Amino acid sequence: NAGVMQNPRHLVRRRGQEARLRCSPMKGHSHVYWYRQLPEEGLKFMVYLQKENIIDESGMPKERFSAEFPKEGPSILRIQQVVRGDSAAYFCASSPPGLGYNEQFFGPGTRLTVL
């Protein structure tokens, strides 16, 4: 069973461009979480999605950031008009369906550098 996959692993964008980060959860997992880690800081929750639904986006900046988890395909975190402050590592995690205290499995992250 492959783990959580993220691509690209490294992404370089110039200010004003768009960044698209992809996350494929573990097989059978229907919950996806996105976290951001700024340089030398801890991980911060951004958004929690289930298939086709955003459950909690309380950690997501109100502008330029959006996330989706379509019925088919990976979850996408989209950052429009990137700025230097968006440079960070973005981690995706997934967990299986159902209630309970399911652990979250993390991917290797995408490192975004904005020039």
Residues forming contacts to other proteins in the complex (CB under 8 A) are 4, 31, 33, 35, 42-45, 48, 56, 59, 89, 91, 93, 95, 98-109
Comparing CB distances to other proteins, the nearer of 28 and 42 is 42
In angstroms, give the least distance from the CB of 8 to other proteins.
15
Q: Whole-angstrom Cα distance, residue 7 to residue 26? A: 14
Assigned token pair, 86: 């968006």
In angstroms, give the least distance from the CB of 107 to other proteins.
5
In angstroms, give the least distance from the CB of 81 to other proteins.
26
* Sign of the dihedral through C-alpha 95, 36, 46, 114: negative
Contact assessment for residue 22 and residue 76, using Cβ atoms and an 8 Å cutoff: yes
